[in-house]
A and B are shown apart, each in its own frame.
Chain A
Amino acid sequence: SAVISQKPSRDICQRGTSLTIQCQVDSQVTMMFWYRQQPGQSLTLIATANQGSEATYESGFVIDKFPISRPNLTFSTLTVSNMSPEDSSIYLCSVDRDRAEGYTFGSGTRLTVV
């Protein structure tokens, strides 16, 4: 299965600032996915990032708040903009390189906004 390196692993940020999260995959993948996991909750899909096109956002998530870059087939970033305490969550990236193996997830970024 794919190996994903995600960083930072955690951060504490001031409200009103922005944080960019990076995900690097060890092989080329068509789609990368970004999720949010609020405390004690399941995962919610934020957006799907395809290389060479705009990311596709799920209902309730907008590009101005969560801009995504996908410059090549092995890398993507998610920015959490103008943060508030409600953005405190774990953010995870994921890829589906091999359908037989299912989805692989990064180790997550634990964000606390103060």
Chain B
Amino acid sequence: GNSVTQMEGPVTLSEEAFLTINCTYTATGYPSLFWYVQYPGEGLQLLLKATKADDKGSNKGFEATYRKETTSFHLEKGSVQVSDSAVYFCALVDFSGDDKIIFGKGTRLHILP
């Protein structure tokens, strides 16, 4: 079945550091890939998405590229801010299957001033 694996947290970085959160997936079809962010005390917000191989999603300085050859969708940001502290979830949806969204376990990010 389909699954998402993302790096364990928590990840602690200093402000302005470079961020990478790894995400790999297993899917039988051609899924769409997503990163969601959950700020403290809030629900999930869509951060970025990619619907096909080699697509790059970007938003708020974050980027992720859909790599079919490595089945990866790593999240990157060149210079993080304290306000980026949150939990980040990688997810996939196989719209040719049952349309259910499958989440990774989440990665908690702490940014120190």
**A106 x B43 contact (CB < 8 A):** yes
Please report the C-alpha to C-alpha distance between residue A42 and residue B8 in the assembled complex, in whole angstroms: 12
Annotate B90-110 by CB proximity to A: 1 below 8 A, 0 otherwise. 000101000111011110000
In the complex, chain A residues 81-114 whose Cβ is within 8 Å of any chain B Cβ: 90, 92, 94, 96, 99-108, 110
Please report the C-alpha to C-alpha distance between residue A92 and residue B49 in the assembled complex, in whole angstroms: 20
Q: Give the shortest distance, in Å, between A2 (CB) and chain B (any CB).
A: 11
**B103 x A102 contact (CB < 8 A):** no
Which of A90, A96, A101, A107 is close to B99, meaning CB atoms less than 8 Å apart? Answer: A96
Work out how many contacts link A and B, with CB atoms closer than 8 A. Answer: 50
Please report the C-alpha to C-alpha distance between residue A41 and residue B86 in the assembled complex, in whole angstroms: 13
Please report the C-alpha to C-alpha distance between residue A106 and residue B21 in the assembled complex, in whole angstroms: 25
Given contacts A102-B32, A102-B34, A103-B93, contact A42 B104 (CB under 8 A): yes
Please report the C-alpha to C-alpha distance between residue A103 and residue B42 in the assembled complex, in whole angstroms: 16
Contacts of B103 in A (CB 8 A): 42-43
**A107 x B43 contact (CB < 8 A):** yes
Contacts of B100 in A (CB 8 A): 45
Given contacts A92-B43, A106-B43, A110-B41, contact A41 B49 (CB under 8 A): no
**B42 x A108 contact (CB < 8 A):** yes
Contacts of A41 in B (CB 8 A): 105-106
Please report the C-alpha to C-alpha distance between residue A105 and residue B89 in the assembled complex, in whole angstroms: 13
**Which residues of chain A have a CB within 8 Å of any CB of chain B?**
1, 6, 31, 33, 41-43, 45, 90, 92, 94, 96, 99-108, 110
